[in-house]
Amino acid sequence: MHRRFEQRLRIPDAVDLGSVKCNYDEHKHALQFIGQATVEPPKKNNSIPINFKNGSTPAVENKTSKA
């Protein structure tokens, strides 16, 4: 069985998109987003891989989409 999850949210321009990580908690209920400040202009249309705390593979492949 394959499932797809897509969620869009705004990330402030001052955050380096390459540093953004997203993790589920142990119960797969809460998402935690972590990112670092940047001095470069932001890139557009990045995908952020979502990792699970139990060490399983990412839920989303690390791909960039083209608009």
Two structure tokens written together for 13: 């321009």
CA proximity to 67, closest of 5, 4, 8, 3? 8
User: Is pTM beyond 0.75 here?
Assistant: no
pLDDT-derived band at 1, boundaries 50, 70, 90: confident
Please, what sign has the CA dihedral across residues 51, 13, 44, 67? positive
Residue 11, helix vs strand vs coil = coil
CA angle (48, 51, 56) in 5-degree steps: 140
Q: What is the pLDDT of residue 65?
A: 52
Q: What is the pLDDT of residue 29?
A: 72
Report the pLDDT averaged over residues 8-26. Answer: 80
Question: Using one digit for the tens of pLDDT, what is the confidence trace for 19-65?
Answer: 888 777 777 777 777 788 776 665 666 677 777 777 665 555 555 55
